[in-house]
Amino acid sequence: MSASVHFSTYLSYLRCAAGYRAAYGSFSPSSPDTRLNPEDYFSAISISARLNVVLEQLNMVKQWHAIFVHHSVLVSINIDGQALMAMQDDLQAKVLIDAMPYIRFELLEHVDTSLDTPFARIAEADRLWLDDFGSGLANFTSFISWRYEYIKVARDLFIVLQESDVGNQLFFKLVTLMGSYSKGVIVEGVETSQEWAMVQQSDAIAAQGYYLSRPTSFDRLQTLPMLFCG
């Protein structure tokens, strides 16, 4: 079995910026055309195997170091709490992370209350983003108890809030509230011009979704536009 999860890259001068996602998937050598859900894969493998996947991603990102520095791009990698803790004792990970100041980590769920070590004592705490707010794994306590650098609104929540005028108003207020507890809010799953317009009217600083970009491979990184104002 071979696996990895997606990276997302973000411009640091965000407002009209798109989040680009580079994925190299999860697959089985015996059935290479069958893709596996990365979350399902990670839940089934050991913590050491998860850490190895993160290290593989860090090493891949390092190959594009000059481009990320030149364009002031941030690169986020998904990680869970257990892998984050394992990374604290891994010298290779520390060396790689220290050499790439643009690396960020998206926590798949809020884990501060379940960890033996609080966020304040985790080396990468200032690089943490809260992923998928509104998915059921992350809640208000998540961003109130720790100041994440950025907070990402889940696609599912974004869809629900578009279904009524009340929901629309709640979306704008929620984005503003979350922005006061972080450097900014990123809205996931923007797939239409109407959704993009809604994000632009809010206090969100960035968005990602099929309307802005499609998943692509890292060998096409240099061909991607660095600004989107559609």
- Output the pLDDT for position 18: 43
Kindly report the three-state secondary structure assignment for every residue of the chain.
Answer: CEECCCEEEEECCCCCCECEEECCCEEECCEEEEECCHHHHHHHCCHHHHHHHHHHHHHHHHCCHHHHHHCCEEEEEEECHHHHHHHCCCHHHHHHHHHCCCEEEEECCCCHHHCCCCHHHCCCHHHEEEEEECCCCECHHHHHHCCCCEEEECHHHHHHHCCCHHHHHHHHHHHHHHHHCCCEEEECCCCCHHHHHHHHHCCCCEECCCCCCCCECHHHHHHCCCCCCC
**What tens-digit pLDDT sequence spans the chain (230 residues)?**
233 334 555 544 344 344 445 544 444 444 556 666 666 777 778 889 889 989 998 998 999 999 888 888 888 998 888 888 899 999 999 999 999 999 999 986 555 445 556 666 787 888 999 988 887 766 677 777 788 999 999 999 999 999 999 999 999 999 999 999 999 999 999 999 999 999 999 999 988 888 877 777 777 777 776 665 55
User: Beta strand 184-187 with 206-207: parallel, antiparallel or unpaired?
Assistant: parallel
pTM here? 0.81
- Output the pLDDT for position 176: 97
Best CA proximity match to 75, nearest among 191, 193, 230, 221: 221
- Output the pLDDT for position 180: 94
Q: For the chain, which domains are there?
A: 2-219 (3.20.20.450)
- Output the pLDDT for position 27: 44
- Output the pLDDT for position 168: 97
- Output the pLDDT for position 178: 94
